[in-house]
């Protein structure tokens, strides 16, 4: 699980990995962007736990999770804005359905909107 700490204009993501607590401070972001990044870190932790994504030995854990989370958030933001999947694939280099599925998820507001459109 990953948590978001709000400290004035700064945000910090806190998560546990390999028995340690890790903290990454984010600068110059909105709370909405920071929350999306937190959700991406949490999803990435799940992918690592399931063995879908491997963390290379000797890598800086904070840099690894931050860079993957930023990539994940960018791809999710493109999809949320309705950018065609083929264009997203071209931009980020996805070549298989498995790669697309790894990054594809809905934002909580999208889920709520979809339900509201059917059930009012």
Q: What is the pLDDT of residues 56-105, one digit of tens each?
A: 888 888 888 888 777 777 787 787 778 888 888 888 787 788 777 766 65
User: Rounded to an integer, what distance in angstroms lies between the CA atom of residue 49 and that of residue 36?
Assistant: 20
Q: Provide mean pLDDT across the span 98-115.
A: 68
Please, what is the end-to-end C-alpha distance for the chain in angstroms? 32
pTM exceeds cut of 0.75: no
- For the chain, counts of helices (H) and of strands (E): 5, 3
Question: How far is residue 19 from each of residues 24, 56, 86, measured CA to CA in Å?
Answer: 16, 17, 39
Q: Predicted confidence band at 109 (pLDDT cuts at 50, 70, 90)?
A: low
In sequence order, the 6+-apart residues with CB closer than 8 A to the CB of 91 are 78
| pLDDT in the model for residue 21 | 93
Q: Predicted confidence band at 1 (pLDDT cuts at 50, 70, 90)?
A: confident
């Amino acid at each position: 699980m990953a948590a978001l700490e709000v400290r004035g204009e700064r945000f910090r993501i806190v998560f546990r990995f390999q028995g340690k607590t890790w903290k990454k401070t984010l600068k110059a972001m909105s709370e909405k962007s920071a929350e999306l990044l937190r959700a991406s870190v949490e999803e990435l932790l799940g992918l690592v736990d399931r063995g879908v994504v491997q963390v290379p030995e000797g890598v800086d854990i904070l840099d690894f999770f931050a860079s993957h989370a930023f990539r994940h958030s960018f791809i999710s933001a493109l999809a949320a804005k309705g950018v065609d999947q083929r264009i997203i694939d071209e931009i980020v280099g996805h070549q298989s359905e498995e790669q697309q599925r790894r990054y594809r998820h809905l934002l909580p507001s999208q889920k709520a909107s979809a339900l509201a459109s059917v059930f009012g």
